[in-house]
Structure 1
């Protein structure tokens, strides 16, 4: 539904309780007449310092997602955005599609996921060879690589930052982000992509696009763009990169 303050669209946003970046970046680049309302997935153990810890973190997510969706649906949103990304890439293209189907069934709403939004953005841009950065451990990096490869992308490189906890992802600064993007870039790479919604990348990505002359897709920009497009929100959003500038 729309509201007095949000007369164009109301979005439910599902985020891990450890995430401090999604809502901040969304509100910095909010289109007029929309609002965002979080359903937070309770994370009891934020450790991500090895593959086993990362898989345990995902198990927590899966157990708690339903409660977060149930909570946010009480504000009657028009559309659901998954403000978490690792789970949306898991299992390759089919796993991502199954997750999206499950979220639609759970919520009764159209859903934007990180994986689907990145694919839609790359399709819109017409690029195939990509470099990817993540905050993840290797087990999750391979899932990201698998997803893009199964959809026909040529993944030149994936650089995982191996952040030690879910909260420490938000502590990664611009210099480290730039170095990670540089590590997966090359003259024959058409676009750079970032996964991991708690990485504060939107501002850095917009700057790098200007400097490199190629698309740099921050996942929070991609999900915001996808949700706006899906719900008919038009009008450029400045300062957030080429995707949102092209609305």
Structure 2
């Protein structure tokens, strides 16, 4: 009799590396929720003092960043993402691209960032003018507006929660994220972007899209989607997590 084995998420299709904040708890479970059974996630962490410009800046200039990338890159990975939205857009597009270049120097793994992934995802769903939902303080929200606007996605409206504690970010319920998205929706936007990789989002994306009739992209969703693309992996996502995956999944089925 042939033995019957249960799925063990060993990563036979793809292994994704994640460089993530030590105090954050949302991104790993949300990536696993979106992942097919044969895709695995492997994490390295670094310290985030606070969710402010100064706190984020201190994290990104710390030697912990290089250590985290190098440690994660020791595993046999197919792609790696720096899982921080505000941290990768903090000082603009050149800052974000320099981070990818540094990751490539520190590790042989093909790498991306959440901000680069988010721009690619917005382009994939055909976004132009967008609304922004965040948990950030106003100064960080302003930097997000500038980053996305300068990359072809003008922000018509934004809504932030003014949270500076990483632990508090993770406590925002999906129902509140859903309500925030409906609040910023309008006829003048083509999509909504949910920023922050420690803010719950992916469980609500399909419901929000159904309610507003437009694509919704979240930082975590975009990061996972782009990691699969960087790795050259098709069909690595479970169904039900938004229009971003729909076109690719349809191509795979055909």
* TM-score > 0.5, shorter chain as reference: yes
Structure ID, larger Rg: 2
Output one character per residue of 1:158-197: Cα deviation in whole Å (capped at 9) or x when no partner.
2121113011100001232123223321112100001100
Distance 1:184 1:96 in 2: 27
Indicate the residue corresponding to 1:60 in structure 2. Answer: 59
Task: State the TM-score, normalizing by the size of structure 1.
Answer: 0.89
Output one character per residue of 1:29-66: Cα deviation in whole Å (capped at 9) or x when no partner.
112322111001134x3x44xxxx54124303431211
Alignment of 1:158-177 (within 5 A): 158-177=158-177
Indicate the residue corresponding to 1:14 in structure 2. Answer: 19
Tell me if structure 2 keeps the 8 A contact 1:96–1:115: yes
Tell me if structure 1 keeps the 8 A contact 2:20–2:45: yes
Tell me if structure 2 keeps the 8 A contact 1:237–1:245: no
Report how many residues are paired.
239
Distance 2:61 2:42 in 1: 20
Task: State the TM-score, normalizing by the size of structure 2.
Answer: 0.87
In structure 1, stretches of 5+ residues that fail to align are none
Indicate the residue corresponding to 2:127 in structure 1. Answer: 127
Indicate the residue corresponding to 2:245 in structure 1. Answer: 244
Distance 2:47 2:94 in 1: 26
In structure 2, stretches of 5+ residues that fail to align are 1-8, 249-254
SS of the residue 2:61 aligns to: helix
Tell me if structure 2 keeps the 8 A contact 1:221–1:244: no
Tell me if structure 1 keeps the 8 A contact 2:145–2:154: no
Distance 2:58 2:199 in 1: 21
Q: 1:118, CA displacement in angstroms?
A: 1.3
Tell me if structure 1 keeps the 8 A contact 2:17–2:72: yes
Output one character per residue of 1:188-242: Cα deviation in whole Å (capped at 9) or x when no partner.
2100001100001011122101121100111111111111122122125212111
Distance 2:228 2:56 in 1: 29
Q: 1:70, CA displacement in angstroms?
A: 2.0
**Which runs of 4 or more aligned residues in structure 1 lie more than 3 Å from their structure 2 counterparts after TM superposition?**
none
